[in-house]
Amino acid sequence: MFHLQRNVYLDNNATTRVTPHVARAMSAVLKRRFGNPSSLYRIGRDAAAVVEDARQVVATTIHAEPDEIVFTGSATEANNQVLTVLTDIHYPTRRKIVSTPIEHPSVMATLAHLEGRGVSVEFLPVDRLGRVVLAALDAAIDTNTFLVCCMLANNELGTIQDVVQVTRTAHARGVTVLSDCVQALGKMPIDVRALGIDYATFSAHKLHGPKGVGAVFVRRGAPFRAFLHGGHQEAGMRAGTEGVHNIAGFAAACRALPTVLPRMGETARRTQLLADELRRLKPDIVINSPQQGCLPNTLSVTFPDVTNTVLMAALDLYGVAVSAGSACSAGETKPSHVLKAIGLSDDAAHQTIRFSLAEDTSVKDLRYVLRVLRDHLDGKTPAIRALRASQVDHHFLFDDANYILDVRFWHERKLLKGLPNSHEASFVSFKKYVHHVPRNKHVLVVCMGGVDAIPIAYALKSKRCDNVSFLLGGVVGWRIAQPDLYARYAGTNVTAIEPRAPRRARPRLPP
Ligand code: PLP
């Protein structure tokens, strides 16, 4: 195995690097435009001018008018707001939303919440490449339907939908359309007029802007309301003091798009190169992203017989960041709903990796990634053993040769007790406590669902901890497999190697 280390960030659909000019624009606002945009004196008016200037820039970028842009705290908030507010406006007269099964969780979870309130949601079918079957749209819309919700580009596959066709069909039936354009902005030109959409959502951090700022496009005349209660910011559409520096960063990121977008042709060629070379490396891979009608930077690949979380952690060890495409939620490693919707089995979903390039990802970067991948597939990267929950039995737990390291977050520890004799240091701060881990023992790394433990196990391996493994299925899986041991011993003799947060003294009430 070669030892050359390079950092290659191939998870640009998760978030992007803030570019220096964005950081400078934000810093200038933080230093010199600190006022509250709602204040009437000059310092406030200066801050308000930053927000209005940014509104103009964002509007121009998507071919909208400034009064059609509402800044929010994220695209998640924006999706929640549009879906919830439109339901409030139409329900119970009209109570149906037509959507797709591959929307982002901020849409899927909101739809599930609204279903609980009596809204009916119909999901259109998608094909093997994540293309929505639009022939089914007209039939799905009935007199009860008030909204069609269809994303422009999918975050996991990169698949671009024919939103023009969606709006044509929906409008012909008197129904409005929301399109989540989060992944599209920064990777393809967006013209909300040409798309014909009524509502669209955006997020700055997908295009080299800051995290914590999003926007909703609301077509003039389309009904809309505030979602948060409080002040009358954003023309009464979004309460809360504007994150002026974030909004300025969003605008700076948009200003750069005329130089970023022309580079997307080259990005698409690099993505294709990666796909071709991966196929050469492992001919049985399955590419889930479409070759046509796809974001130029996104490649979803299934590697048969390779566990994605293990591959992701092995790549991480060599400085390569990719996404495993499955979310570890409530302690379970659930296969991605998008991969399931396109027909992948649970196994295939757990063997799928998403590569998402930036416009500055070089061929050299890709060659490095391919070398690490080849070494991993050839068994040359350090091997981490996976222990099944059934192997972590009474004998294992009380064998002094084993050291159990529990890297769960504090809030996860509240949900389930830890393995007996374990040592706690959370996933994020573990690095500070790495020297506590004995090098002469077998170290078992344990997390909630079995995913977070893997990169920690690899990190230990790189710190001369040779005998290390992780617990498949985490504490959740262990509790299911070993209910008697859990009932009897869980939570006993647990050592916190990371100091627990000191309890704050209760404030004394005045007499
Ligand atoms: N929609 C899509 C398609 C996304 O990819 C994301 C982020 O991953 C979001 C919405 C949520 O964006 P934010 O991080 O601003 O909440």
Say which range, 55-59, 229-233, 469-473, has the weakest mean pLDDT: 469-473
DSSP H helices in 97-204: 105-116, 137-140, 163-172, 192-195
User: Cα of 76 to ligand 1 centre, how many Å?
Assistant: 6
Q: 336 and 273 in one domain?
A: yes
Q: Mean pLDDT across the chain, nearest whole number?
A: 93
> What CATH number is associated with residue 421?
3.40.250.10
Domain shared by 68 and 159, yes or no: yes
| Cis amide bond preceding 37, omega within 30 | no
Instruction: Using the predicted structure, report yes or no on whether residue 508 has a pLDDT greater than 80.
Output: no
Whether residues 186 and 46 share a domain: the answer is yes
Mention every residue, 6+ apart, whose C-beta is less than 8 A from residue 159. Answer: 102, 129, 130, 131, 153, 289, 290, 293, 294
Q: Do 235 and 177 have their domain in common? A: yes
CA–CA distance, 287 with 279 (Å, rounded to integer): 9
pTM of the model: 0.88
Indicate if ligand 1 lies below 6 Å from the C-beta of 19.
no
404 to 160, 164, 389, 398: CA distances (angstroms): 45, 55, 13, 10
270: domain CATH number is 3.90.1150.10
**510 within a domain of the structure (yes/no):** no
The reported pLDDT for the residue numbered 450 is 83
Average of pLDDT values for 341-362?
A: 96
Write the CATH number for 132: 3.40.640.10
Name the phi and psi angles at 440, rounded to 5: -100, 10
Q: How much is the average pLDDT of 248-276?
A: 98
Judgement on whether residues 363 and 395 belong to the same structural domain of the protein: no
- The predicted pLDDT at position 219 comes to 98
* Of 212, 180, 215, the residue nearest 110 (C-alpha): 180
According to the model, what pLDDT value does residue 111 have? 98
CA 426 to each of CA 77, 82, 142, 151, 409: distance values in angstroms, whole numbers, following the listed order? 28, 36, 50, 35, 5
CB atoms within 10 A of CB 236: 12
Residue where a domain stops, chosen among 216, 238, 255:
255
- State whether residue 236 is helix, strand or coil: helix
CB atoms within 10 A of CB 268: 18
Domain annotation covers residue 267: yes
Same domain, 248 and 316: no
**Minimal CA–CA distance to 85: which of 190, 283, 222, 265?**
222
Tell me: the pLDDT tens digits for 83-132?
A: 999 999 999 999 999 999 999 999 999 999 999 999 999 999 999 999 99
Q: Is the CB of 187 under 6 A from ligand 1?
A: no
Q: What is the pLDDT of residue 384?
A: 82
What is the mean pLDDT of the segment spanning 38-45? 96
Judge if 371 and 430 occupy the same domain: no
Cα-to-centroid distance, 270 and ligand 1 (Å): 24
Domain boundary among the residues 255, 287, 303 is at 255
Say whether both 233 and 267 belong to one domain.
no
Task: In whole angstroms, give the CA distance from residue 329 to residue 332.
Answer: 5
The answer to whether position 446 is within a domain reads yes
Q: For residue 472, what pLDDT band results from cuts at 50, 70 and 90?
A: confident
In the predicted model, what is the mean pLDDT of residues 135-154?
98
- The per-residue pLDDT for 112 is 98
Q: Which residue out of 111, 163, 182 has the highest number of ligand 1 atoms within 8 Å of its CB and is therefore the one to mutate?
A: 182
C-alpha 485 – ligand 1 centre gap (Å): 41
Domains: count for the chain:
3
Same domain, 69 and 121: yes
Is 254 a catalytic site residue?
A: no
CB of residue 161 inside a 6 A radius of ligand 1: no
The answer, yes or no, to whether residue 503 has pLDDT greater than 60, is no
**509 within some domain:** no
Whether residues 239 and 348 fall in one domain: no
Ligand 1 pocket check for 299: Cβ under 6 Å: no
pLDDT value for 507: 54
Q: For 160-193, how does the pLDDT look when each residue is reduced to its tens digit (9 = 90+)?
A: 999 999 999 999 999 999 999 999 999 999 999 9
Tell how far the Cα of 81 is from the centroid of ligand 1, in angstroms.
14
Question: Where in the sequence is the domain holding 444, given as residue range(s)?
Answer: 385-496
* 391 found inside a domain: yes
Same domain, 324 and 175: no
Residues 391 and 312 in one domain: no
